[in-house]
Amino acid sequence: MTDTPLRAAIVPVTAIEQNCTLIWCTATMKAAVVDPGGDLPRILSAVEQAGVTVEKILLTHGHIDHAGEAKPLAEQLGVPIEGPHDADRFWLARLDEDGRNWGIRGVPFEPDRWLVDGDTVTIGDLVLDVYHTPGHTAGHVIFHHAPSRFAQVGDVLFQGSVGRTDLPQGNHPQLIESIVTKLWPLGDDTAFIPGHGKPSTFAHERQHNMFVSDRALSA
């Protein structure tokens, strides 16, 4: 699929098996690392294997497995960090504490750019739309590339499940609202990479997901 404008590779990191994702523009071979929670040598190996140049780090939210080593990676590569929404300042400020609790390195920081609903981010020639999708965390965002019918949704939606909402600032009704009002309108044919587990499509989840299928939500 060399003619596709966007390519993505999943790099599982940390003991929590978080899907760090390398997304790149095939026209320019410029890339972004999404949610580098840890295992930086593994991430850098994937970058080298893909033959791309990382120009930024993107974050969906501030949990330790997604953001723990964002700052060290940014410093090593000399690139900015964009995202999440500033409502996740709470989580980014406590990455060292959460890292000790989870046995994962965590380095607190503030990103170079907070993101809000309606923003865009660029990766090479690609332009991705930003949607604020609170519920799992208050400042969670997702990234969507309409021409490729692709979304990186972090911990909002999974194959067969949804993000947990029992952690501080979690809100289950808000999470369901984010899925229904922000994700579903992007189209059933949208393929997505979640923060954990296997990729899926919105169509598949609307048919089979026991939490947010059309049937479950109409019950």
Mean pLDDT by 10 residues, the chain (219 residues): 84 96 98 98 98 98 98 98 98 96 95 98 98 98 98 98 97 98 98 98 98 94
Query: 19 and 195 in contact (C-beta within 8 Å)?
Result: yes
In a domain, residue 1? The reply is: no
Residue 145 domain boundaries: 6-218
Ramachandran assignment for 160, one of left (phi > 0), alpha (psi -120 to 50 degrees), beta (any other):
left
Say if 153 falls within a structural domain: yes
pLDDT score for 219: 80
What are the residues facing 126 on neighbouring strands?
123
Q: 59 in a domain, yes or no?
A: yes
Number of domains within the chain: 1
Distance (Å, whole) CA 41 – CA 62:
21
Angle at 149 between CA 147 and CA 153, to 5 degrees: 125
Structure token digits, residue 168 = 């501080």
> Would you say residue 210 lies in a domain?
yes
Please report whether residue 89 resides in a domain. yes
Please tell me whether the overall predicted TM-score, pTM, comes out greater than 0.95 for this model.
Answer: yes
Residue 26: CA atoms inside 13 Å, Cβ hemisphere, count? Answer: 10
Neighbour-count burial of 78, counting CB atoms closer than 10 A to its CB (0-12 exposed, 13-18 middle, 19+ buried): exposed
Residue 1 confidence (pLDDT): 39
pLDDT score, position 62: 98
CATH number of the domain residue 119 falls in: 3.60.15.10
Residue 178's pLDDT is 98
